[in-house]
Amino acid sequence: MNLQMNAEAASGYTSDSQKVRMMTGSWAAENLYCPFCGCQKISCCEDSRMNADFYCPDCGERYELKSKNGALGDHIAVGAYDTMLQRINAGSIPNYFFIHYSRTDLKVKNIVMVPKYFIMPEVIEKREPLSDKAKQARWSGCNISFNQIPADGKILIVKDGEAQPMDKVISQVEKTEFIGQYNLSERSWVLDVLRCVDKMGERDFAAEDVYQFEEAFSQKHSDDQHAKDRIERLLQILNENGMIEFCGDGCYRRILDA
């Protein structure tokens, strides 16, 4: 993977945003692969109805590309708030490539791929609407709250200027694919438990540590009065899918990627 972007891809464009879009888009078309199936090249979406920038010609997975000069940070702008929620609820949200590049040397420094099933309404942050005097008066954009996405949903393709092995990337994606089978309500539970495991910060933890979040879960999921039973079942599911390992006596261990 060549991490150098080509400045000539932006020739003929005047605004900085247009230049960046052309350079990152051109780079992605030449260098990015599909993290789901390993197809060596992804293709540009010429049909706007696909609601994405790229798609995999082999498995059909769709991708949207967002780039930033500098560290990605906790909040990443992704477009119109209402449209974003509609796409999530309709199941038409694509996967996301988030690219951190350097404007100084035009090199890609980090790439994080977030699978579509981690993009949930609770990670979408509404921005203040534009003023009545603006061209798009009262239009509201939104951010993805990057810090609300569980660690397992941030698949590193490039880390600190070094491309990660493709087989490792695909393995990380495969480990999470079961989450996509759930509807939004059930998926929210799965991601909540993963966030709790992240918050504990330790590799080894006990089920009792997760049960401490029972009250918060009950408040968020008010239609489910059996939060503790749901947590217990979800820990079993995470164990069955290789995200955590049951060690006996109500204890678990996070399975860390090599």
* Model pLDDT, residue 167: 95
Does residue 63 surpass a pLDDT of 60?
yes
Does residue 258 surpass a pLDDT of 60?
no
For residues 86-104, average pLDDT: 94
* Model pLDDT, residue 156: 96
pTM to 2 decimals? 0.90
Per the listing, tokens 């590193």 go with 156
Does residue 202 surpass a pLDDT of 80?
no
Residue 9 CA: distances (Å) to CA of 24, 51, 65, 161, 225: 9, 23, 16, 21, 56
* Model pLDDT, residue 95: 97
Cα separation, 166 vs 94, in Å, equals 20
Residue closest to 197 by CA, chosen among 156, 255, 130: 255
- pLDDT band at residue 30 under the 50/70/90 scheme: very high
**CA angle, residues 119, 35, 113, in degrees to nearest 5:** 40
Residue closest to 207 by CA, chosen among 230, 178, 182: 230
Best-predicted range by mean pLDDT among 128-137, 169-178, 194-203? Answer: 169-178
Q: State the chain's mean pLDDT as an integer.
A: 89
